[in-house]
Structure 1
Amino acid sequence: MPISAAHIISSLAVPDVPASIRQSCLRYSVSAAQLALLEQGGIALPATLANAVLKRKVEFAAGRYCARHALQGLGYAGLETLPIGHHRAPVWPDGFVGSISHGDGHALAVAAASRDWGGIGIDIERCLDHDAAQPLVPYLMSTAEQAIGAATGMSVERWLTLVFSAKESLFKALYPRVGQYFDFLDAEVCALQPAQDGLTLRLLTTLSPQCIAGSRYTIQVSYFDNNIVTLCLLAPADTVPTTASGVIDDSAKMHPPD
């Protein structure tokens, strides 16, 4: 059977997304039947994934399906599968920006017109358990960030997952603008909203003339089923020379944009 509207969730617990942003979420299973459904829906796997494991193929296809669905919500009529570009980043159609993420059986995509937004980053992460999180702390968080998390009373594993996801969203939003990888420790959480539904990241490293050390980016946060979703939305580059504000694809470095 084809993928129906019942499989698509237009919004996944992401608050206050402007009307100019389109988002799409697809529940998927890692199975040959799921992959076949996505291919029947018009998603073509690139030759570079011919020998990939089934999980990677399904995640790629589900993410691209959501990306096309989000673009269609903006009036885009193309049916092609978004290709893989430099550093595995998805290549969005001219005039559009977007981001893809997947995890825990959910694929997410957000898209917007580039005249409205300069970049988007979205990420979904299932909360790590304590044993998996503890060795990652010094690679993902500064001492100051650890102190912010401790002050909230949040468990180390939950706080680390939140910080990880927020930095992933920032990386995905900034990557098209700066054209380079940067490390998790090149950005730092400097504030957390009291309701824990948003935080502010500050660059500690200058990445480009527009993205300089000290620039701040707001990340929206939402939670569902032991998952964390983060979203970063950048204003058009020509309107925000040294700072950007945010709203809401994966290495010792930040993940590839997917």
Structure 2
Amino acid sequence: MRTLHTTFLLAGHTVHRITFDPASFTEADLLWLPHHQQLTEAGRKRKADHLAGRIAAFHAVNRKTIPGIGSSGEPLWSAEVSGSISHSGTQAVAICNEKGLVGIDCEAIIDEREAREIQDGVIDAREAQVLAACGLPFDLAFTLTFSAKESLFKALFPRVQAWMGFESARVTALTADTLTLTLTCPLPPFAQNQAFTLHWCRLDSLIITLICEA
């Protein structure tokens, strides 16, 4: 599969980005993955997305190892680090840090009509007010909130080990480069009303959100 590796900085952290051509993917490409047999039943798109994400992760860990697949589908990082992977369209991103909370997500900006159709499953009335007051177009603000919740849940999952719905966190602030999410319920070891700050940036039509805390 044809790929291009680049990096960029977000909140002072290096993010590894893979631009890939899904049409050039072949089944033989998967043999590079030690866990390729776990993807036997996956569709072609899933395989290409997964491969691009793991290539990004490989660079993020200084080309030392390739994260496997956990029982809930999460990446399995080495014991010394925390990391996160995301992909959207022809882009994949990954980040790795010393132990701590790490979560990254990339999303194509959701069309406003679609965002309005699905917003009740992602945000509540209080969040809608925050988005309306933040000064950003609704499609951008909604995509940021959607993505930030994905990033936060990825970061919390290794400790929570439980499924988290969009209602588990509420956006309480949204600025030109950060979001604040507050837990609406206890997620042990994290307490109800615990707040987390995430950073975001826009790359063309792609939104990247990141939480990276020691």
Q: TM-score, normalised by structure 2?
A: 0.91
Give 1:1-258 correspondences, 5 Å limit.
Answer: 7-11=4-8, 14-18=9-13, 22-31=14-23, 33-35=24-26, 38-39=29-30, 42-44=32-34, 46-72=36-62, 77-78=64-65, 81-114=66-99, 118-193=100-175, 196-209=176-189, 211-235=190-214
Distance in 1 of aligned mates of 2:48 and 2:64? 24
2:94, 2:59 → 1: CA distance? 8
Q: 1: distance between equivalents of 2:15 and 2:45?
A: 23
- Tell me which protein shows more strand as a share of its residues: 2
Partners of 1:129 and 1:157 within 8 A in 2 = yes
Q: Secondary structure at the match of 2:18?
A: strand
- CA separation in 2, counterparts of 1:98 and 1:56? 20
CA displacement at 1:83 relative to structure 2? 1.4
Query: Which stretches in structure 1 are left out of the alignment for 5+ residues?
Result: 236-258
Is the 1:121–1:231 contact (alpha carbons within 8 Å) kept by the matching residues of 2? yes
Runs of 4+ in 1 over 4 A off after TM superposition: 35-40
Q: CA separation in 2, counterparts of 1:198 and 1:95? A: 28
> Match of 2:195, as an amino acid?
R
CA contact (8 A) 2:103 2:152 kept: yes
Q: Is the 8 A contact 2:170 2:183 kept in 1?
A: yes
State how far apart, in whole Å, the 2-side matches of 1:46 and 1:233 are: 29
Distance 1:147 1:9, change over 3 A: same
Q: Distance in 1 between matches of 2:146 and 2:37?
A: 31
Q: CA deviation at 1:197?
A: 0.8
Distance 2:170 2:15 in 1: 27
Q: Are the aligned partners of 2:151 and 2:211 in contact in 1 as well (CA < 8 Å)?
A: yes
CA distance in 1, matches of 2:2, 2:166: 40
Kindly provide the amino acid, as one letter, of the partner of residue 84 in structure 1: I
Counterpart residue type for residue 142 of structure 1: D
- Calculate the TM-score normalised by the size of structure 1: 0.77
RMSD of aligned residue pairs (Cα, Å): 2.0
CA contact (8 A) 1:28 1:106 kept: yes
Count of matched residue pairs: 214
User: Separation in 2 of the partners of 1:119 and 1:36?
Assistant: 34
Q: 1:189-240: CA deviations, max 9, x gaps?
A: 11122xx21011111110003x1011110010100112110001132xxxxx
